[in-house]
Chains A and B, each alone.
Chain A
Amino acid sequence: MPASDRGAVALRRGENQAQVAGLLLEGVPGGRGQGDGHREVVGHGGGQAHRGGQGTPADDGTGSQHRADESASTVFVWQQIALAAVLAAGTLICAVLWFSTTMLVLVAAINVAVALAVGAKALISTVGTAWETVEQVTDAEVAALVDTELPVYTILVPVYKEAGIVGLLMRNLADLDYPREKLEILLLLEEDDPETLAAALAAAPPDFVRIVVVPHSMPKTKPRACNVGLAFAHGEYVVIYDAEDRPDADQLKKSLIAFRKGGDDLVCVQAALNYFNAKENLLTRMFTLEYSSWFDYTLAGLDKLRLPIPLGGTSNHFRTDMLRDLGGWDPYNVTEDADLGIRASAQGHRVAVVNSTTYEEANMAVGNWIRQRSRWIKGYMQTVLVHTRHPWRLLGAVGPRQAAGFALLIGGTPLMFLASPWLYAMFVVQLIWPGLLTGTLPSWLVTVSMGNLLLGNGVIIYLSLLAGFKRRSYALVPFALFSPIYWLLHSIAAYKGAWQLVTKPFYWEKTNHGLSSHVQPEPVEVRGAVPAEDSATTWSAGRRHAAAERQDGVRPSAIAGGLSRLGLSSEEQA
């Protein structure tokens, strides 16, 4: 197969590691070793920015096709800029001429935004709670599957600068209950990350793991790497996992059954996400409560109400052909998953949830958390801007109920975070200088604002209480009372995200993983390839260890230091 100077390179086990590392360091992927039978090259010039004309399918540099007006590559269209300018100028002029009335309208608008967003979340989550013991897929259905009749499943794992947890990733994926001959794992590495490549090669994965080196280009985002992976995928179904993910062992099989039961319009099945390091500190506890509420109640409610589901960043399973028809992920959108969920709905497809959980590492540092959350909120803003470019078209495509659900959830969420501090400011002013606000605003509006703030916080606290209770994480439940503080952190992240939307719209705030004491980075031991039978032993041992680790909560590093050592320690234990 011919190699391209800027093409993605897929490596199989046995590839000359030193040669590849050398190529990466030289910045000339695929420049040598052509036609050696181990390397595939797909895709096109990765350095080309995605700037196609409106309505014209444009190449994003990875083989995926996007309509430019469905991509966040253009942040604002002129109509949106004009509307924002008119609103800003109008507000300014009105404030000069009729200050009290303008303030009344602004405060009322903030109240309406917060009340609608909180109300929608409460309503959707309440519907979700009603199905708390319903299993979309039962164990009996999983047991009835015949391995020989299963389709090929592709797992995409984008990894960047995460050399320390590659070995752990291999172990976690080895825990999956799926026939190895039907499994294809694509490890998506970036060209400028030779350390992770070295670690991946040192882990000596078996043949069904392929390492794909994504050529350097901008924007350097996870969705761009996933699009490259999608071009390589041979599976009938494809799923994305992050480097630190620990999916339930039967997740692939459950998703497969969910697809079979879900009908032809079902494009994606989303598994629940939760955290394995919930009790590490206050932030991880709050994050876990939030995720429990979001994935167990809110997404379940969206599913039952047949509203558009913004996908989570990982553990979303797709029908590969339908995903390709949708154009893959938008590499310019920093929450490409949420965007894809909405785009799928707009094209008449459906997203469902499945009763399986992937355990991730909760962010345990405030700075790291704000970086991650500002990216998510910025991505929601991008998604709203993209899908409201043609509001009438959206309304016609998805209908008024779904459009309202999209506006309230995707649009309402950042709006609520941006608006909340102003309500808090009013609260503080009212506490310290009673009567000051009523000099400008009618007293009924001040009362409504205070009530709105209290009620909104009450709803958020209560949903977290219920979510913790439902997961039987009783020890976490009292921490739900800290939700107002946690939500103020969201507001900080929202303002950062809004600022970045203007200044650095495509900048991907990298989340640092491996900070938890549950995920101690393992020393990378670069060595040559190992025989196939050795790696097979390693993988089965890894599976047993991952199961034991989850059951017992033992730190991975306490079990074994690296993938290569697992095989030995396992045999010794046996």
Chain B
Amino acid sequence: MTMLRLFIAFLEVGAFAFGGGYAVLPLIERVIVHRYGWLTMTEMTDVVSISQVTPGPIALNAATFVGMRVAGIPGAIIASVATVLPQAILLFLFGIFFFREKRSATIDHAFMSLRPGVAGLIAASTVSIFIASVFLSTSPIIIDPVVLIALAVVLILRIKRANIFPLVFLGAGIGLIGGLVEYLTQT
């Protein structure tokens, strides 16, 4: 029974999670905290902070976390699968039409507008990521020097076509050096 409820709850989260990123939080809160009571509001905040420091989409991180809480590792698997099931079914169906050899002129016209449109959407998301990362969490106007250095160094190397994986680690390294400087100057 618990497994079934877990499955249905995250099926709902997956089916109605449009927009990606933090847009999904109110939905998770409504279903997981208020309806099923699997997490308290404080634990919900914990899930958000753990999502910030781990890879992966927030909906999947929440699914794994709640699944573990309710029914251990099998629960985590059931909740994760339920989260991605609606999109998997839909995209599978869309894929049948989309990946056919011949495309109609109408679909071609739609994509001629979607390509620059999607570039615009990604640009907007990038501006949000930039603003969220560059300013100190304690103040909306003071720029975090560590973030700025990491950004500048990685930007230069990336323009010169350095690979992404090492650059992410370089960013982490710059962050750790910044942390060390802070740690030493405070004590």
Q: Do A and B come from the same complex?
A: no
A residues sitting closer than 8 Å to B (CB atoms) are none
B residues sitting closer than 8 Å to A (CB atoms) are none
